[in-house]
A and B are shown apart, each in its own frame.
Chain A
């Protein structure tokens, strides 16, 4: 009888610790999500450098307007032959692409999110802006990097291209340092390295490098001239704003 009760106590303790750890991990992940979407809005210049296997680089530049995590408008300024192209994202994955030489915006319904986002190493899923804590269950692992948590993320649904994501999170400030993405075969296919800096009261990723380990291909995003909380409204993210035409046009 005593033996049985001991087993129950041990089991209870183990389960409790696991539960507490899972709670902690999920909380750390939510806090990271909150940190990433903390500003009300932002305006910035984004420099995108795509580097292929041979080491050749192409550089694009775009202006970015973002409100919360869901409203986003990129307008490309460089290279010249891409200038004027713009993408507008709305909540629930709605997206429009504006191609100036066609003079119209086309709505893009993304049923396949694993596709690369316009030649970068980010997939549409990576760019979705949906918080990680909504899509993944986190567990805490022992970290081999001092002052960093290591979280293991397993998907809540099948509708993801990843079977697992591992994230190192800065213990003190809660921003991500490094992410490793695993495909359905369990292979580490991509990694992202983040450099966070603080401007005013907000931390933001000044530089992100996403590397496709299979293709030896990488995309570096540098955020420049960032300004937060300038009072952007939902109206700044309309189709008219995207195309630069009023409704009467």
Chain B
């Protein structure tokens, strides 16, 4: 036995009180940080600064304030009736009174400039003090909307069943508070119409609520599930409590670190507690298992021997799991994925340290009492021990059959990989029937979608050449089947020109434009369309299709226009969520490949270095590579798409699943050295680590399966896929890996 490890174990046993008090102190410290922990589910904020689409999108948000738009959809049989218009008016007024909302626009307050024989009428579509009542009044309103390009299909749906109320948030508004006030105020009016909420602020706050709900409800369930698994496996209080305590402490330290370093919880880091519960308990399970299995005269001796023999595999497991998570920082598109990688990795290291330090220290506390009962422990594991024995027999008797089964699974997996779909659509995050999903659907079906598209023009904006180019660009854009309508300052000038001259065009005389501008200046809408220096202006539009191919086609289509129309005096750029989606979609595959490869390489290096054999490093990855191929096959065959959550599964599975191989190979090396017989070494290592691996993958899988109760679809799939990977990598380590080890070491055996 390595004397350094023995000394380490001795120090833990002797300094148990110091360890426990230090852990309590640190837990209180990190626990106090938790009150500062905030949830941020805004994908926009997580977009990277180095992607030109994301950068431009953020820049437009800053320079053309008020792009943070919430949407309230009022749905009824037909909106054109006095009661509904009255309700829309009171909703509009009530929303305008909410702090953080700087303006609200709906059919009942939207400005309307129209020209007739008498001149220009600057007013509102609906007079708030004289609402329409007769069929004739409604016909006038209907025609006013249908004849105005700016309003047609954007404030009342063309099927007349839905009206849209748009509210613009202040730059410094607390989005979550505004969103909850909007829901409270609008529900408080008790209107008979159906109300749906959409748009980024509502969605962000809706997702935050779901995340909070998931954290509060799923974590305790995961605890319970893992506790029950541990109880049925160890049948002892320490076997249940120690893994749970150490993972709970690791969770508190990790979340505390997130808050301490000024980061927020995101849609993805919301998973961290459940992952750490699974990972953290796994390390402790191995430590408790190893100590329990040791045969020694005193309980302290058992702890010393057990701890010194389990330290290397647990450290290896910790480092490799951390590598699996940290690999997300390479090639991940969203900042939130990078943060998730860093903090889960940190949490894994915390878990690893706690399993090696806190668990033995706590066990050492009860050493005297346990000395007397140690002999009574063995029968409790009989079932798993029998299973491990049968498994060891099966592996040594039927290696070829096992190998063929695995090969068949791998081939099926590879075949499935080609059918994997990708999804970056936020609607897909919600279950069917969910109000947020329904709202997005209504927006898509009736108001041309919610994904904003912005085309930025830089030049002398009031130059007729620029305005004409903007109008052409808008018309070109509208020819795309996914663009319903556009809005730009060129439209406002053309509409005003129409009101005065009867021609809906941009005047060619610069003086005429200046004079029309004189009239338009000060209109609030302008701030969202043109900068104060009149050197930048945007065309605002919405993209309808959720389909990624359509987004790519649109991006290419618009690139064609931009390429042909830019000049020295005019720069044109386009961005928006469809463009971000295309890059995000591409990055899903790239970051998936990059993170798996990087994790694999590092895992091989670390295992190779610690076990002083790169051959062992490479061999250890066989079960997990098989498990990952099967995982992708499962995704392909079942239609579970690759999205911002499921893209994490392979690396998570690699990080956690590699542990099983490490335990087997460390034991195998030890046994092979002792017996010089590969078959015996394989059987011994299955017997020694099999039980812990089985308990571990059952506990971890059940822990992750709790995510099926989540309200967010990506998390449900994440849970299912990690559980499936755990089972396959666990079984791979116990069946495929021993077959490979036995076969590879047959030659050395003969020597």
Instruction: Decide if A54 touches B532 in the complex (CB within 8 Å).
Output: yes
Say whether A109 faces chain B, with CB atoms less than 8 Å apart.
yes
Within 8 A of B (CB), among A62-100: 76, 81-82, 85, 96-97, 99-100
Mark interface residues in B98-109 (1 if CB within 8 Å of A CB, else 0). Answer: 010010000000
Given A102-B501, A107-B120, A108-B119, A117 contacting B522 (CB threshold 8 A): yes
Q: By DSSP majority rule, is chain A's interface helix, strand, loop, or mixed?
A: loop
Within 8 A of A (CB), among B481-530: 499-501, 509-512, 514-516, 518-519, 521-524
- Sorted nearest first, the 7 A-B pairs with minimum C-beta distance are A111-B123, A119-B521, A107-B119, A116-B522, A99-B515, A101-B511, A119-B522
Contact of B102 among A76, A81, A158, A214 (CB under 8 A): A214
Instruction: Decide if B500 touches A102 in the complex (CB within 8 Å).
Output: yes
User: Can you pick out 27 interface pairs between chain A and chain B where the beta carbons lie within 8 Å of each other?
Assistant: A54-B532, A56-B532, A56-B533, A82-B518, A96-B119, A97-B519, A100-B511, A101-B509, A101-B512, A101-B514, A102-B500, A102-B515, A106-B115, A107-B120, A108-B119, A108-B121, A108-B122, A109-B120, A110-B123, A111-B123, A112-B111, A112-B122, A112-B123, A116-B521, A118-B522, A184-B97, A185-B99
Given A81-B511, A99-B512, A110-B123, A118 contacting B519 (CB threshold 8 A): yes
Q: Which residues of B contact A195 (CB under 8 A)?
A: none
Say whether A120 faces chain B, with CB atoms less than 8 Å apart.
yes
Q: Which residues of A contact B129 (CB under 8 A)?
A: 158-159
Q: Which residues of B contact A158 (CB under 8 A)?
A: 129
Q: Known A-B contacts: A81-B511, A82-B518, A119-B518. Give 11 more (CB < 8 A).
A: A99-B512, A100-B511, A102-B501, A106-B119, A106-B499, A108-B119, A110-B123, A111-B122, A116-B521, A116-B522, A119-B522
Contact of B514 among A82, A108, A119 (CB under 8 A): A82
Say whether A52 faces chain B, with CB atoms less than 8 Å apart.
yes
Say whether B96 faces chain A, with CB atoms less than 8 Å apart.
yes
Instruction: Decide if B532 touches A115 in the complex (CB within 8 Å).
Output: no
Nearest Cβ distance between residue B168 and chain A, in whole angstroms? 12
Q: Which residues of A contact B119 (CB under 8 A)?
A: 96, 105-109
Instruction: Decide if A82 touches B122 in the complex (CB within 8 Å).
Output: no
Instruction: Decide if A52 touches B532 in the complex (CB within 8 Å).
Output: yes
Instruction: Decide if A115 touches B111 in the complex (CB within 8 Å).
Output: yes
Say whether B571 faces chain A, with CB atoms less than 8 Å apart.
no
Contact of B121 among A105, A109, A115, A159 (CB under 8 A): A109
Residue ID in chain A nearest B115 by CB atoms: A106
Instruction: Decide if B512 touches A115 in the complex (CB within 8 Å).
Output: no
Q: Which residues of A contact B96 (CB under 8 A)?
A: 184-185
Q: Which residues of A contact B501 (CB under 8 A)?
A: 102
Given A54-B532, A81-B514, A109 contacting B509 (CB threshold 8 A): no
Instruction: Decide if A185 touches B97 in the complex (CB within 8 Å).
Output: yes
When chains A and B are docked, how far (Å) is the Cα of A107 from the Cα of B121? 8
Within 8 A of A (CB), among B81-136: 93, 96-97, 99, 102, 111, 115, 118-124, 127, 129
Given A56-B533, A106-B500, A85 contacting B515 (CB threshold 8 A): yes
Instruction: Decide if B522 touches A115 in the complex (CB within 8 Å).
Output: yes
When chains A and B are docked, how far (Å) is the Cα of A117 from the Cα of B522? 7
When chains A and B are docked, how far (Å) is the Cα of A238 from the Cα of B519? 21
Q: Which residues of B contact A118 (CB under 8 A)?
A: 518-519, 521-522
Q: Which residues of B contact A107 (CB under 8 A)?
A: 118-120
Instruction: Decide if B522 touches A82 in the complex (CB within 8 Å).
Output: no
Which residues of B are at the interface with A, using a C-beta cutoff of 8 A?
93, 96-97, 99, 102, 111, 115, 118-124, 127, 129, 499-501, 509-512, 514-516, 518-519, 521-524, 532-533
When chains A and B are docked, how far (Å) is the Cα of A104 from the Cα of B509? 15
Nearest Cβ distance between residue A219 and chain B, in whole angstroms? 10
Q: Which residues of B contact A119 (CB under 8 A)?
A: 518, 521-522
Contact of B516 among A56, A99, A120 (CB under 8 A): A99
Residue ID in chain B nearest A157 by CB atoms: B129
Residue ID in chain B nearest A122 by CB atoms: B522
When chains A and B are docked, how far (Å) is the Cα of A52 from the Cα of B65? 15
Q: Which residues of B contact A110 (CB under 8 A)?
A: 122-123
Q: Which residues of A contact B510 (CB under 8 A)?
A: 81
When chains A and B are docked, how far (Å) is the Cα of A111 from the Cα of B102? 21
When chains A and B are docked, how far (Å) is the Cα of A106 from the Cα of B518? 14
Q: Which residues of A contact B499 (CB under 8 A)?
A: 106
Nearest Cβ distance between residue A244 and chain B, in whole angstroms? 15
* B97, B118, B501, B511, most chain A CB atoms within 10 A: B511
When chains A and B are docked, how far (Å) is the Cα of A101 from the Cα of B521? 18
When chains A and B are docked, how far (Å) is the Cα of A107 from the Cα of B510? 22
Residue ID in chain B nearest A101 by CB atoms: B511
Q: Which residues of B contact A106 (CB under 8 A)?
A: 115, 119-120, 499-500
When chains A and B are docked, how far (Å) is the Cα of A97 from the Cα of B511? 15
Q: Which residues of A contact B127 (CB under 8 A)?
A: 111
Instruction: Decide if A120 touches B522 in the complex (CB within 8 Å).
Output: yes
Q: Which residues of A contact B121 (CB under 8 A)?
A: 108-109, 111
When chains A and B are docked, how far (Å) is the Cα of A53 from the Cα of B65? 13
When chains A and B are docked, how far (Å) is the Cα of A119 from the Cα of B524? 10
Residue ID in chain B nearest A81 by CB atoms: B514
Nearest Cβ distance between residue A238 and chain B, in whole angstroms? 15
Nearest Cβ distance between residue B66 and chain A, in whole angstroms? 12
Q: Which residues of B contact A102 (CB under 8 A)?
A: 500-501, 512, 515
Instruction: Decide if B515 touches A101 in the complex (CB within 8 Å).
Output: yes
When chains A and B are docked, how far (Å) is the Cα of A117 from the Cα of B521? 8
Nearest Cβ distance between residue B734 and chain A, in whole angstroms? 67
Instruction: Decide if B518 touches A108 in the complex (CB within 8 Å).
Output: no
